[in-house]
Amino acid sequence: MNQIKILLWDLDGTINDFLATENYAIKKGFARLNLGLCTDEMVNRYSQINISYWEKLEKGEMSKHQILVNRFKDFFAEYGLPEQNADIFNKNYQIDLGDKLIFIDGALEVLQKIKKSKKIRQFVVTNGLVANQKRKLEGQELKPIFEYAFISDEVGFEKPNIEFFNAVFQKIGDIQKNQIMIIGDSLTSDIKGGNNAGIKTCWFNPHGKTNNKNVRIDYEISDLHQLLKILCI
């Protein structure tokens, strides 16, 4: 295969253990507003609601502002909590998400090995919000790794839209598409986005999910260390 020269990393769920940071931020939000006990079961239910809303965003059915507040309105409604708290809860939630970076097993080691190899340029491509993503990326562990972070809020489009990737291509310069690979855990944003953009894809699938989204996957890994073999590092 052609040597990969550009690696586009999804952040949440691929580098950052998003479920762990989500659990932290939701529970802290409950404490901030004195909403009572928030159990792991409640956080898991919120996570299901959240995923369904992000899929609506990826399909262009809702704006980002709509999903950010409405997901909490739905969540609060299920548990009999005041829906008028949804807006302030979301604002606090974004702050608290930015406070935590919990690495997926092996993520930092793999990122550092790729950086040390000097063979591959690394970028972040994320649909997360500027408010929390930049704070994670400016930490001492990740700041030296990435050449640039493409955050959908700043780009003006979300993955998997081709417009998002066109902005990426414009920034990174004249590189053949078969030398660019995206790695991410989401079939609907990362892998579909890679398909739309005509680049290679690597699905990070630690939980053994099934590809039921009719997308092309060039590589599938369950452990991030497996990426090093693909990249010949």
Q: Please list the active-site residues.
A: 10
CA 28 to chain centre: 21
Strand order of the β-sheet with 219-221 is 148-151, 121-126, 6-9, 180-184, 200-204, 219-221
65 by Cβ neighbours in 10 Å (0-12 / 13-18 / 19+) ranks as exposed
Cα–Cα distance measured from residue 205 to residue 208, given in angstroms and rounded to the nearest whole number: 6
Cα–Cα distance measured from residue 15 to residue 17, given in angstroms and rounded to the nearest whole number: 7
Q: Which two tokens stand for residue 101?
A: 């970076």
